Each structure stands twice: as C-alpha cells, then as structure tokens.
Amino acid sequence: MKVGILYICTGAYTVFWPDFFQSFQQNFLPGVEKTYYVFTDAERIDHDDDPAVRRIYQKAYDWPYSTLKRFAVFLQAEEELRSCDYLYFANANLLCTAQITPADVLPRPEKGEDLVVACHLGYWHKKPYFLPYDRNPRSRACMPYNAGQVYVAGGFNGGTAQAFLWLCHTLNDRTEADLADGVIARWHDESQLNRLVAEQPRRFRVLDPGYCMPEDVEQPFAPHLLVRQKSKWINVGAIKHNEGPRRSFVRRKWEAACENYLPYLLCARDTLLGKKVKSGQ
Ligand code: UDP
C-alpha cells in the first residue's frame, strides 16, 4: 500500500513543515509507505533529500486563493498521484500527536465509502440550519437551510487515490465556475467540500473532531491530529488582510441575533419550498 500525503506550504506557512513531517513520519500510518508531495514556493525545505519527500514548485497565491485553489494545485501532479493507493490532504499546521492506523482513517469499502473527512469541532452535533455552509445561491457550494447533516473541516481529508482525484476535479470545476461568476464560497474550499459531502454522504467516512482538533481547547475527543494555533508562528491577520474597521456594538448585536434566530425561519422556508441537495446543482 502506498499513501500520498498532499501538503501545501507557500510563503510563511513553510515554518510548519519540519514538525509536521516529523510527527507524521512517527505517528501517521506507521509501517506504511508514504510519499509527501510538498507544494511550495520555497527553494529548499527541511528533509528535501529524504526519499519520502517530493517537493513540487508552487507559486504563492494571495489569500484566499492559497487555500481555494488547492484542488487545481494537486491536479498539476495528477499523473504522479495516480501511482498512490490513497491520498490525504493535511493543512500545513497539523501535528500527528497519536498513532493513527489504517483502520482509523482509511475509507471502508464494505460500507460504500471511498472518501474520508473529519467533523469540525465547532459544529459537532449542531442542527443543520446552524452550520456555516455557504448560503449564497450564486455559489455552487450553496446549501439550503433544511439540508446537510455534518459540517466537516477543510484541514484533513482523503480517500482512495481514484476517488480523491475525482473530488479534486469536481471541486476545482465548481470553484472555477464560481470564480468566472465573480463568486467565492463563504469558507472557500471547505464550503465546496461540505456541499459534496451533503450530496453524496454515503461515500464519506466522517471521522470525529479528534482528527482536526484545535490546540489549547478542552474537548472530549482523543486528540490524533492537532491543529496548531497559527498566530503563535505567523502573522495571520496580515496574510488574510483581515484588519478591517471594528464593527460597532449595535452592529455586532444585530448580527448575533440574526445568526441565532434567522436560521429557524430560513429552514422553515426551505422546507416549505421542498428544497433538496442534488448532485452537481
Ligand atoms: N496556505 C499556504 N500559504 C498561505 C495560506 C494558506 O500554504 O499563505 C495553505 C496551507 O496549507 C494552509 C491551508 O492553505 O494550511 C489553509 O490555510 P489556513 O490554515 O490559513 O486556513 P484555515 O484552515 O485557518 O481556514
């Protein structure tokens, strides 16, 4: 069995690579042949000369294209990636903090699964109409309020190589079609992924939030993949250009009220309208 790990680190994010590599070598599928496909604009990275590391030049996109365009980035190496049996994408700032075996994370074909995602800790067991899906009808990632079951994190996902490359093609086509219409889904690639999970839920093995678990957060799941707090290492605000003006008190209260109560009404509306999630719509 050969597993390909897809890793993007452009710009400041290369700082996370050495610890990522070390922790994954130690704990992620020990004993399994792994190749790390590292998409980076860095001329050199640690462990460059390790036979398990394949560095692939990738120019640095500005935010949010650095995350949004990930499917296109992977597809540039599609031929090579086809030599793997399984492919997993991991965010740059993950650490594998406990041993993960194939039984823990491979899709289970006997259940019809060929893809794997991890539930987002912040939305574990929340009602679908409170999930932060994209709600903009102009985006291919849009979800009606009466649909969906889980909200998955964009930071760790994978599957059989064949299924994962299909996912990359599907979501890349949708992302590009959105961009051509001048639209970016609410949470970028994560919104596109969540729409696909809602369309074809049986194909996805959904791991618990311990497989994408923010550090320094008390929670009841056994930590396997820890999400390091980026701001301890890099200037996230500058990278994501989110230093806009502070919202007023009244505005913040109004937005919170909308967030807490409006979804009930919108769910009732979409149920009355008989809205459904169909593949490719
Ligand atoms: N990324 C990158 N360079 C950037 C921004 C993002 O390489 O300048 C990649 C990196 O793999 C990162 C992923 O895009 O883990 C998602 O970005 P980020 O973790 O900041 O997004 P979040 O998960 O916080 O939404």
Which residue segments constitute the domains of the chain, with CATH numbers given?
Answer: 2-272 (3.90.550.10)
**What long-range pairs does 177-182 form, CB within 8 A, spacing at least 24?**
177/140, 178/138, 178/139, 178/140, 178/141, 181/138
Residue-level pLDDT at 244: 64
Cβ proximity of 219 and 209 under 8 Å:
yes
Amino acid at 233: W
Q: Give CA torsion, residues 148, 151, 156, 161, to 10 deg.
A: 0
What's the CA gap between 224 and 213, in Å, rounded? 8
Using a 6 Å CB cutoff, which residues line ligand 1? 8-11, 13, 63, 66-67, 91-93, 154-155, 239
Tens digits of residue pLDDT in 201-232:
999 999 999 999 999 888 789 999 999 999 99
Atom of ligand 1 nearest to the CA of 8: 11
Give 8 Cα–ligand 1 centroid separation in angstroms.
8
Which of 91, 186, 192 has the most ligand 1 atoms within 8 A of CB, as the residue to mutate? Answer: 91
Q: What is the DSSP letter of 28?
A: B
Give 39 Cα–ligand 1 centroid separation in angstroms.
12
Amino acid at 114: D
Residue-level pLDDT at 246: 76
Residue ranges, the chain, pLDDT below 50: none
Which of 5, 7, 9, 13 has the most ligand 1 atoms within 8 A of CB, as the residue to mutate? Answer: 13
- pTM recorded for the entire structure: 0.95
Give 19 Cα–ligand 1 centroid separation in angstroms.
16
Instruction: Count how many Cα atoms sit within 13 Å of the Cα of residue 82 in the half-sphere of its side chain.
Output: 5
What's the CA gap between 168 and 189, in Å, rounded? 10
Atom of ligand 1 nearest to the CA of 40: 7
Give 40 Cα–ligand 1 centroid separation in angstroms.
12
Tens digits of residue pLDDT in 84-116:
999 999 999 999 999 999 999 999 999 999 999
Residue closest by Cα to atom 17 of ligand 1: 67
Atom of ligand 1 nearest to the CA of 14: 7
Residue-level pLDDT at 243: 59
Give 195 Cα–ligand 1 centroid separation in angstroms.
20
Which sign does the torsion angle of CA 168, 105, 1, 27 carry?
Answer: positive
Give 230 Cα–ligand 1 centroid separation in angstroms.
9
Would you state the structure tokens that stand for residue 277, as one six-digit string? Answer: 């999630």
